[in-house]
Structure 1
Amino acid sequence: MSRPVTFVGLGGGAIQLGLWAYYAHRQGCRVVISEVDRARVAGIRANGNTYAINIAHFDYIQPVTVGPVEVYDPTIPADRVRLLEAVREANEINTAVPSTAVYRKGGIDQLLREGLAGRSAPVLIYASENQIGAAAQLRDLVYPEGAPPHVGFSETVIERMGGPQGDPAFIAAHRLAEITPGCGAALLVEDFDSIVVEKPPFAPELGFSTSFGRFRAVEHIGMYEELKLLGHNAVHFLLGCVGKLKGYTYMSDFNGDPDADLLGLDALILETGGWFRPQYGPAGAEVATDDGFRAWAVQLMRRIVNPHLFDLVDRIIRDPERKIAWHDRIIGTMRRALAAGVVPKRYALGAAALLLLRRAAPDVPRNASWLAGLWGDAADPGERENVITCVEAAGEVLGAWDPSVHPSLHAFARRAGYW
């Protein structure tokens, strides 16, 4: 009987446990996880080297047990030795840590450098930090002089939604399986596996074979990275900020709310699509055609309001300084739209909603000039002025809007002459 191939996951959060390790285990891989949360490590080991996730379908939630897996804490010398051994044997490795800063700060670059030294068999390393260029950044840290031909680094585009739930009453009410018994947290992720990865750069003679054939490998991933950041992430943040003003707890609270389509879907089709389709359509990509883009947008909106996903609004709008940065989701797609001659009025409402939410903090400026300070020298002065003009116009509408009186922001904005 042949020995199973080894998959190593660096980081033990929702993306790693709920996606990569889950599918690696389903493929029969030996699954090895690196995690610095000692309570989580101990919990998985005490649970027979297994953990649980919950998969949100459109009509029910399915608890799933994953394992056996091996889990090690890289800060413990004996565990680090076992991790290095696993890296030396791995066919595929995935990083899924809070940010690319952890590559160096958390010692991931050094762990890979040591573990990969001396091996000649091909290994593919995916970066799942939801940051454009993450894999290239990791490659340059591990191999400053250039990666050898048998070590590949792959960018990823992961549109799968969901995350941790920590409210005991919620976990009990929805009968969620905790990650491990008694840990007080559960992972709830959507039933979605249309993941895009960068095609392995290996020569055929190396004989590399992936365990993630269900994922879509593409030669040029940049288009999909932009669609994720400036489409999926942008509309998620737009609706999250508006939903917070409405008093929503979960993104699924948009079910039955006309703003889900009139703000969310239309933002995707008219404002993201207004620049994305002309830019990428000539290359022949299906998602950049009129019908293909609409199909993608409609499916995304249906997934966002999945009544069994319970994606927390507060999770969507956390870390606002990063998410409203000059090159990030809302402002990034507003800039692209303006350059294409499209006025991004819906995304401007999202940016203005964030400013309105920040008024609860008295030490934060209450108008769009705060954005200019946040963007600093990254912003072209003329382009910056155009974006701020859009945000200020949206802010005038939001400043007069009372969701308890006028539940639909789109309808209120129409009466105010915004459209």
Structure 2
Amino acid sequence: MKTAVHFGAGKIGRGFIADLLHDSGYRIVFADVVQPLVDLVNKDHEYSLFLIDHDYEEKIIDNIVAYSTISEPEKVIEEIVNAEVLTTSVMATNLPKVAPLITNGLKARKAARAAGDAKLIVMACENAIMGTDILKKAMIETGIMTEEEMDSVAVFPNTAVDRMVFDGHHHGKDGVEIGDAFELPIEKNKLEDPESEPIKGAEYVDNLEKFLQRKIYMVNCAHAVTSYFGFVKGYKTVQEGLADPELLEEVKATVMESASALEKKYGFTHESLVEYMDSMIIRRFTTPGVSDPITRVAREPIRKISPNDRIMGPAFQCEEYGLDNSHLLRGTACALRYQNPEDAQAVELQDYIAKNGVGAAITKYIGLKPEDRMFGVIADEYSKLV
């Protein structure tokens, strides 16, 4: 049986990537730093997925094993030597932490395998633009292998990822709830065989950037602004917020501002982006029985208002094309108001604003200067929020 090594045994790892790997015929090896997740996988060497759109019907994922990246790195390396695919879902900020072990795995693979053997397909499946490039750069920076050495044993396609996943308990079992709708575009031109389909159900594309931006600037944008709009209104979950007709319309207006820039830049049709919003965003986020806490969705506000991320990224694009971005800028203002004592970035942001003022925060975290039009809009919207 083919082997896939997957770094990250959390909900995305088990509920999305491993689900597709399983359906593609792979034996799955999870590698994780969290011992309870390793133990969970190894308890029965299978786990349950619950299909949200099918009355939580159960699906079993088997042929799995997990190893600790802390106490069993040599076992992870051994699996990398013999694997066909290596994927990650560890959060983009953690890619530099897994880079040394992955690189050591490639080094062992290079020593153990003959020249001309099939190359390992390495893909970072993260909520980040060109996540595999981020991982590869971190691997090069370890100094364990040169880029040329790495390229001799592996290929590094970028991906975009999107699926609704939650912890769930049904049929007397714990598991992961998953929605039907998902996206996994993969850069086909970076595969050793561009016509191969190593993961069934993925979409193999020539221009990944347009799909990445559509996902980040529409789905991730919608999720984030719903949480920040919802926070300032006192809601506890995304679903509570979207049940408010006024907030729902504000979210739709925000997402369509992002869509207008994507339409202009990449030539998406307006109708396709409206359908994308309805199917991949609104329908999913309002699925009956789903409850997504704002504290989870709103976490790490500094990252989410950075210039190239999900809110200000499309706002800058709209500004460049002379398009309306007023709702995006209001979403940013709400993010600047976000408070959560258990979120390190929220604490840092509020401490900085308290000491230096919101204007200084807009410059520091977003890169706008007082003379910039968007600076004034964000500061004005911020002042209106209580």
TM range (shorter): 0.7 to 0.9
**1:196 partnered with 2:185:** yes
Match of 1:148 among 148, 151, 171: 151
TM-score, normalization: structure 1? 0.78
CA–CA separation in structure 1 for the residues paired with 2:192 and 2:381: 52
Determine if the alignment matches structure 1 residue 264 to structure 2 residue 251: yes
> Tell me, what secondary structure is at the counterpart of 1:23?
helix
Q: Show the counterpart of 1:277.
A: 263
Letter in 2 for 1:278: K
- Partner SS, residue 204 of structure 2: strand
Cα deviation for residue 69 of structure 1 reads 0.6
Q: TM (normalized to structure 2)?
A: 0.85
Distance 1:163 1:144 in 2: 39
Residue of structure 2 in register with 1:62 after alignment: 57
Structure 1 unaligned blocks of 5 or more? 166-170, 180-186, 282-287, 400-419
Q: How does 1:165-204 map to 2 (within 5 A)?
A: 177-179=173-175, 187-204=176-193
Q: Counterpart in 1 of 2:365?
A: 375
Deviation, structure 1 residue 359: 9.9
Q: Secondary structure at the match of 2:159?
A: strand
Match of 1:53 among 10, 31, 49: 49
> What do residues 215-250 of structure 1 show as CA deviations (whole Å, max 9, x unaligned)?
101112111111222222122111111112233232
Separation in 2 of the partners of 1:102 and 1:158? Answer: 16
5 Å-filtered alignment, 1:246-325, equals: 246-269=233-256, 271-281=257-267, 288-299=268-279, 300-325=281-306
The answer to whether structure 1 residue 103 and structure 2 residue 103 are counterparts is no
Partner of 1:31: 28
| Matching residue within 5, 22, 26 for 2:2 | 5
Question: What SS is found at the alignment partner of 2:69?
Answer: coil
Residue in 2 aligned with 1:215? 202
Change (3 A) 1:235 1:13: same
Contact map agreement 2:73 2:101 (CA 8 A) in 1: no
Q: How does 1:386-397 map to 2 (within 5 A)?
A: 386-397=373-384
Return the offset for 1:135.
0.9
Change (3 A) 1:106 1:201: closer
Q: Quick one: distance in 2 between partners of 1:248 and 1:63?
A: 31
Q: Partners of 1:398 and 1:69 in 2: how far apart? A: 49
Is 1:134 aligned to residue 131 of structure 2? yes
Asked whether the 8 Å contact 1:264–1:301 carries over to 2, the reply is no
| Partner SS for 2:84 | strand
Supply the distance in 2 between the matched residues of 1:99 and 1:60 (Cα, whole angstroms): 33
> d(CA) in 2 for partners of 1:26 and 1:145?
32
CA displacement at 1:163 relative to structure 2: 3.9
Counterpart of 2:80, as a letter, is: V
**Structure 1 residues 18, 135: closer, same or farther in 2, change over 3 A?**
same
Which of 351, 365, 371 is matched with 2:332 structurally? 351
The answer to whether structure 1 residue 92 and structure 2 residue 85 are counterparts is: yes
- Seen in structure 2, the aligned counterparts of structure 1 residues 64 and 111 have a Cα distance that, compared at 3 Å, is farther
The answer for the alignment partner of 1:240 in structure 2 is 227
Deviations 1:16-54 (A, max 9, x none): 1111112222233111111222222223322x2122333
- Cα 1:26/1:325, change in 2 over 3 Å: same
Write the distance in 1 (CA, Å) between the matches of 2:340 and 2:174. 36
Instruction: Give the AA of the match of 1:81.
Output: E
Alpha carbons 2:353, 2:361 under 8 Å: kept:
no
Work out the CA distance in 2 between the residues paired with 1:5 and 1:24.
10
Whether the 8 Å CA contact 1:124–1:200 is kept in 2: the answer is: no
Q: Distance in 1 between matches of 2:293 and 2:340?
A: 21
- Secondary structure at the aligned position of 1:193 is classed as strand
The percentage of counterpart residues that share the same residue type is: 19
Instruction: Report whether the alignment pairs 1:73 with 2:75.
Output: no
User: 2:296 aligns to what SS in structure 1?
Assistant: helix
Q: What is the CA–CA distance in structure 2 between the aligned matches of 1:177 and 1:346, rounded to whole Å? A: 42
Pick closer, same or farther for the CA change 1:145–1:268 going to 2, 3 Å. same
The corresponding residue for 1:365 is 353
Q: Aligned with 1:190: secondary structure?
A: strand
CA drift at 1:197: 1.4
Shift of 1:75: 2.2
Q: Which of 107, 112, 117 is matched with 2:105 structurally?
A: 112
